[in-house]
Structure 1
Amino acid sequence: MHWTDRRKRFRALLAGDRCIHPGSVFDPISARIAEDLGFEIGMFAGSVASLTVLGAPDLIVLTLSEFAGQAYRINRAGNLPLMVDADHGYGNALNVRRTVEELETAGVSGMSLEDTDLPTPHGTTAPRLISIAEGVGKMKAALGARQDPDLCIAGRTSAVSITSLDDAIARGRAYEEAGVDALFFVGVRTRAELDAISEATKLPIILGGVSGDLTDLAYLGARRVRIALQGHQPFAAAVKATYETLKALREGTQPSKLQGVASPELMKKVTRDADYARWTKDFLG
């Protein structure tokens, strides 16, 4: 399926009237699993990318080329529309342009760009934000860089938990005026906060890490939330499974006695073994 077809499906979800949870994915196999299970979109987070590619915490030591390369591997493995967290765009507004060019070429359907001051400046101990003016410049640079108008650009802010709800609303309005396609808010914890944000803005809303009172999809949909992240547990679950399997083997457990190992049938399904068997017959004789 062509990238634009996926982007149109992604935009249709944003234009709809319901809220969905994306499947948190990190490699081709996880994306295929999410697609097979019926997730409408996949989410590839910057934090998960750092873990997957570098085995490092989310400290913005991952490079754009590393991130875009993994996004491409995910995209080529199936037909799941992919939303990615492009962090701060890997630099200033000019770097944001390059980020959009690379990620659009990698086939993503949507990306968020945030206004957190990243990487962490020298001498700071708490997260801080860039100015609204600089954030607007980044959003405009992103919009100007895309070639496919169906690619979704979401303006992201964590102002609710870093500065204030009023600041978050001001930033959302500014990015909305700049022309972004959606607003991504991180740190919203109460219905009162979400109600205020929804009332003050017009664009589709994406929420990061919903919990507590913000887990009712019907309520979220009525507040114009179209995507609500649940976290990135699949990668953590994969780490635990790998750790426990290797530990068991190291301690003498026989491979035939291991627990939690994918069956041969499941492995064939997620590797698309039947397709490769057919291609082998058709093209190799």
Structure 2
Amino acid sequence: MKPGPAARLRALLADNRLLVMPCCFDALSARLIEAAGFGVTFMSGFAVAAARLSLPDTGLMCYAEALDQGRSICQAVRIPVIGDADTGYGNAINVKRTVQGYAAAGFAGVMIEDQVWPKRCGHTLGKAVVERAEAIARIQAAVDARNEGQDILIVARTDARGTHGLGEAIARAEAFAAAGADILFIEAPASVDEMATLCRAVPGRHLANMLEGGRTPILPLQQLQELGFALAAYPLTLLSAAVRAMQDALADLGHGRDPSARLMPFDELRRLVGFQAYEEEEKRYRQG
């Protein structure tokens, strides 16, 4: 029997090499990440809310919508996928149900955060976090769901750096680790020194969020590994690239220019979405 998504992610983490995670927003972007040779991806809540609903990442996308998008992503690729599950969509019991649903959908990992609901992008103004005890209870519930039979890794995120300072964020990360979280994510450290401090202060696997234009410095991969990070997520790189490419193609069309020089060849696009594999499989059942 082939190892499941969580087992494959654990094996990648066991190599102790930085895992680079371009973030996906639909099945096609996930397949492109896999085809480019990356070993893991992350379903970005910001990117999914934008691509699926054309709405901001402010809690407007519900659990069912995120789960539905995630199921399609997980079915499209063989590499492990970590899914953004916001705050878990309710109290501790809701968190457990969310973890169970994400595991059943095929996710290798699930991220739970400590913002109040409705949450918002971690690099924007106006966010707030729940009290530390409630934040710990959410992660404990997620860990309990994992320990009760869900084969999935728990990514514990805190946004307290932006609201209470780095010290409180580190204290929460320590508590999340003690509760049994598999991966720790202190969102939006504001300097390289802060990034180094949080990795030194809390033993465990840390995730760095490399958001272009955000509050955290964008660092070379080698430096991220040297600082102590285990994973580097690029949440909006592909979405931003796709939007710019579509705008450029639309501008060409709007000005009467031929956009074909910008485009993927039709045969390559057909192969990417599976026409060639479909046609080969179809031959097996052709009559006569």
TM-score, structure 1 length as denominator? 0.89
Q: 2:183: which partner in 1?
A: 182
Residue 195 of structure 1: how far off its partner (Å): 2.5
> 1:199, 1:250 → 2: CA distance?
53
Residue 154 of structure 1: how far off its partner (Å): 1.1
Q: 1:279: which partner in 2?
A: 281
Q: For residues 36-85 of structure 1, what are the alpha-carbon distances to aligned partners after superposition, in whole Å with 9 as ceiling and x for unaligned?
A: 11111111111111012111011110011111111111111120211121
TM-score, structure 2 length as denominator? 0.88
SS of the residue 1:22 aligns to: strand
Q: 2:132: which partner in 1?
A: 132
Q: 1:157: which partner in 2?
A: 158
> 2:103, 2:249 → 1: CA distance?
37
Deviates more, 1:268-277 or 1:72-81: 268-277
Q: Is the 8 A contact 2:26 2:48 kept in 1?
A: no
Residue 213 of structure 1: how far off its partner (Å): 5.9
SS of the residue 2:284 aligns to: helix
Counterpart amino acid of 2:83?
V
Note the residue ranges of structure 1 that are not aligned, 5 or more in a row.
none
Residue 140 of structure 1: how far off its partner (Å): 1.2
> 1:17, 1:118 → 2: CA distance?
35
Q: Is the 8 A contact 2:160 2:166 kept in 1?
A: yes
Pick from 232, 239, 244: which aligns with 1:235? 239
Residue 31 of structure 1: how far off its partner (Å): 1.1
Residue 5 of structure 1: how far off its partner (Å): 2.7
Q: Is the 8 A contact 2:109 2:152 kept in 1?
A: yes
1:219 matches 2:223: yes
Paired residues for 1:165-176 under 5 Å: 165-176=166-177
Counterpart amino acid of 2:224?
L
Q: 1:40: which partner in 2?
A: 39
> 1:90, 1:239 → 2: CA distance?
29
> 1:250, 1:219 → 2: CA distance?
43
Counterpart amino acid of 1:262?
M
> 2:96, 2:193 → 1: CA distance?
35
1:244 matches 2:248: yes
> 1:72, 1:139 → 2: CA distance?
23
Q: 1:142: which partner in 2?
A: 142
Residue 247 of structure 1: how far off its partner (Å): 4.2
Q: Is the 8 A contact 2:103 2:151 kept in 1?
A: no
> 1:284, 1:34 → 2: CA distance?
33
Q: Is the 8 A contact 1:115 1:157 kept in 2?
A: yes
> 2:20, 2:119 → 1: CA distance?
30
Q: 2:105: which partner in 1?
A: 106
Q: 2:78: which partner in 1?
A: 79
Q: 2:52: which partner in 1?
A: 53
> 1:120, 1:281 → 2: CA distance?
50
Counterpart amino acid of 2:140?
K
> 1:265, 1:148 → 2: CA distance?
44
SS of the residue 2:262 aligns to: coil
Residue 271 of structure 1: how far off its partner (Å): 1.0
Q: 2:201: which partner in 1?
A: 200
> 2:60, 2:217 → 1: CA distance?
34
Q: 2:267: which partner in 1?
A: 265
Q: 1:67: which partner in 2?
A: 66
Counterpart amino acid of 1:100?
V
SS of the residue 2:130 aligns to: coil
Counterpart amino acid of 2:139?
M
Alignment RMSD, CA only?
A: 2.3
Residue 163 of structure 1: how far off its partner (Å): 1.4
SS of the residue 1:129 aligns to: coil
